[in-house]
Amino acid sequence: MLVLTRRVDESIRIGDDIRITVVKIKGTQQICVGVDAPRDVPVLREELLIDRSELADEQESSNS
């Protein structure tokens, strides 16, 4: 894992067309980030992916 330090309004680029920008820092435990990416690139919070995976597993188990 690459760990970078950024300040408000500083960005990180991923490839040519994805930019992640620190928008706001709230206290010591939370930051707000902005993600600029093409519309065809899905941008999801990881916990949503985990929830989707668990739901799919439950549905698969009930169909068996």
- Let me know: does 21 contact 9? Beta carbons within 8 Å: yes
User: Global pTM?
Assistant: 0.74
Which residue has tokens 């169909």?
Answer: 63
pLDDT value, residue 19: 98
How many Cα atoms are found within 13 Å in the side-chain-facing hemisphere of 21?
A: 9
pLDDT tens for 27-59 read 999 999 999 999 999 999 988 888 777 767 767
